[in-house]
Structure 1
């Protein structure tokens, strides 16, 4: 849902590189995932919300100068008459003067290649509403993670042309030699697209990404020249997003006074269906472990554990040098020294992990330090980073800063904005620059479900 309408590659260059326009591939045949929105409420096993104005993850206005505050309230997202309703409202909430909702399947459904079809109705967009049906990659940071926009409406160009309700766009965004690259196409309908349902379909295979509206293809992008055009992003798994934004760079309207679209306004989704061929990839959330799950421990009483042979990696982010020390248990431990005057941090990265059965449990580990400095313990999930502050003299969760081993036990309920269904870094530690050198020893890290 990036603004990106000034495209980095000309059509001629794309054709020369073999990136556009060859005959369309056959549609995938097997239905592998769907949501018909027939239940009493939004299915949490399929969807999760982005909440806030983006500032909490360092992207105020969600990176596009948007004006709304996303919520998970039924006022903004609900099931109504067998349809998912995303409703934008003019109201003061949080830091913003508008509310809406953004839902995604991150950590619940990811896929690579297939035919994705959705039946969607948008409201009167004139002017300032920005509905979007799109996808983000599961690997890397934007734009290197990739983005595929299957339907966006309400662009500044459409407003200027008097076609706000008649123009739909599709686009892709990726990293090309360290810079953002973009390619997109628009579809101009002979009649208004708002007020009625239309079918938006994407077909994605190792050669092409194509998008059609009501059977009329208007977007095609060739992705087979992976090395030459740096298109690796379009050959790994993606998750879906649905949202109705208000204002922002895409619309060219950056002030609430410029929003003239009738509010409240509803974006309705009748169904979404994914079809795949053999060889395509589908992730629908691995079964969640329970009991005790080892993050960094050699104990034998774990029900399951991470394995640091490609299953997980320990990353040292800054200002940490290994030191010799005795482990609390087993032979391995995290033992590091951080020098004064520079921040330090580390993280255990795993890819997506469904840890939802630990919601009523605790993160446990043993720690040994004498530092009086403040540090943070965190977990990264689909919501971004979530941190617990350890301030000397404050809540220590069992830690004593006396240079001896002590068990730290943090209830997962103490973390804010934590999606245990989609954990990507199971343990993190970070600190602002300490006033003196710091020795930090950590061992026996695990999740316990009670």
Structure 2
């Protein structure tokens, strides 16, 4: 290359460098913006994808229900021993009947049953409906609730992995039905649990449908279709506030006494007491079309 050409190229490069130092920046590359994604909308399947209508007799269907057993107090100083005896959990006349009894059972003076669907019905989102008639009497503590199928978060199974209480009722506060959620950040042991309650005047004399609509961004709890508590997933939440993006299983039980159920003592003259369940239905979460 000739010296004159080399000199010309050198001069142009020096000019460009000087312009850069003086604050002139090159124009940014042009890119096509990505259109915003509309948030997905969800509903639930028209028919249940898991259910038990209890149209049989004998022990609860072993393909759908297992038992938790023992009289350890279950972390709440409860007074019952959970068994798999027919006298404590029986299907008859189209209903599941869970019965708490005043009798020596294991190391306890009360017996009852705690059924669960773990490994047989584990759910991520959906609408859960349980039609039930509740026991009555001071000292009873029936519950329809859910726990995590696996330990995915934190160092403790509970409360780190969450609990969903679809229905709780304590006999000393008759007809006052509660729904709650528990997580590492929100739980009763530190006084931060989230929940609400509703008066159901015929909770122990008539059947009512207790339900939870569980979606990726909220849970809505209702009695007979009337919503009374909603827990929404805040955009800033992490797993300590919302661990509810993993599977949970369903539990049905009657506890006796305990930290909450036994606050006003236990009336031993009321037993046996039963929670009668007409059906359990789970509707799958589906994306709206």
Which residue of the other structure, out of 166, 171, 174, is the alignment partner of 2:183? 174
Following the alignment from structure 1 to structure 2, what is the Cα–Cα distance between the partners of residues 226 and 39?
47
Following the alignment from structure 1 to structure 2, what is the Cα–Cα distance between the partners of residues 142 and 86?
25
**Residue correspondence of structure 1 range 142-291 to structure 2 within 5 A:** 142-154=158-170, 159=172, 164-176=173-185, 181-189=192-200, 191-225=201-235, 227=237, 230-253=240-263, 258-260=266-268, 262-278=270-286
**Contact 1:165 1:192 (8 Å CA) reproduced:** no
| Secondary structure of 1:63 counterpart | coil
The number of equivalent residue pairs is 239
**Contact 1:223 1:234 (8 Å CA) reproduced:** no
Which of the pair has more CA radius of gyration?
Answer: 2
Q: Does 1:53 align with 2:71?
A: yes
When residues 94 and 177 of structure 1 are mapped into structure 2, their CA distance, relative to the original with a 3 A threshold, is closer
**Residue correspondence of structure 1 range 51-200 to structure 2 within 5 A:** 51-54=69-72, 61-124=73-136, 126-140=137-151, 141-154=157-170, 159=172, 164-176=173-185, 181-189=192-200, 191-200=201-210
In the TM superposition, residue 233 of structure 1 has moved relative to its aligned partner by 1.2
**Contact 1:66 1:254 (8 Å CA) reproduced:** no
**TM-score normalized with structure 1 length:** 0.50
**Contact 1:132 1:151 (8 Å CA) reproduced:** yes
When residues 25 and 185 of structure 1 are mapped into structure 2, their CA distance, relative to the original with a 3 A threshold, is farther
Q: Write out per-residue CA displacement over residues 145-188 of structure 1, whole angstroms, 9 at most, x where no aligned residue.
A: 11000000016xxx3xxxx2210000000012999652111112
When residues 101 and 177 of structure 1 are mapped into structure 2, their CA distance, relative to the original with a 3 A threshold, is closer
| Secondary structure of 2:87 counterpart | coil
| Secondary structure of 1:119 counterpart | strand
In the TM superposition, residue 40 of structure 1 has moved relative to its aligned partner by 2.5
In the TM superposition, residue 230 of structure 1 has moved relative to its aligned partner by 3.1
Match of 1:334 in 2: none
Following the alignment from structure 2 to structure 1, what is the Cα–Cα distance between the partners of residues 115 and 97?
11
Q: Does 1:44 align with 2:62?
A: yes
Following the alignment from structure 2 to structure 1, what is the Cα–Cα distance between the partners of residues 202 and 87?
27
When residues 227 and 216 of structure 1 are mapped into structure 2, their CA distance, relative to the original with a 3 A threshold, is closer
Q: Which runs of 4+ in 1 moved over 6 A?
A: none
- Report which of the two has the higher share of strand: 1
Q: Does 1:32 align with 2:49?
A: yes
List gaps (5 residues or longer) in structure 1. Answer: 1-23, 55-60, 280-450
**Residue correspondence of structure 1 range 353-432 to structure 2 within 5 A:** none
Q: Write out per-residue CA displacement over residues 281-329 of structure 1, whole angstroms, 9 at most, x where no aligned residue.
A: xxxxxxxxxxxxxxxxxxxxxxxxxxxxxxxxxxxxxxxxxxxxxxxxx
In the TM superposition, residue 123 of structure 1 has moved relative to its aligned partner by 2.0
In the TM superposition, residue 251 of structure 1 has moved relative to its aligned partner by 1.9
Following the alignment from structure 1 to structure 2, what is the Cα–Cα distance between the partners of residues 226 and 146?
17
When residues 177 and 167 of structure 1 are mapped into structure 2, their CA distance, relative to the original with a 3 A threshold, is closer
Following the alignment from structure 1 to structure 2, what is the Cα–Cα distance between the partners of residues 26 and 278?
5
Match of 1:408 in 2: none
**Contact 1:98 1:246 (8 Å CA) reproduced:** yes
Following the alignment from structure 2 to structure 1, what is the Cα–Cα distance between the partners of residues 44 and 226?
14
**Contact 1:52 1:71 (8 Å CA) reproduced:** yes
Match of 1:410 in 2: none
In the TM superposition, residue 132 of structure 1 has moved relative to its aligned partner by 0.2
Match of 2:28 in 1: none
**TM-score normalized with structure 2 length:** 0.77
In the TM superposition, residue 262 of structure 1 has moved relative to its aligned partner by 1.4
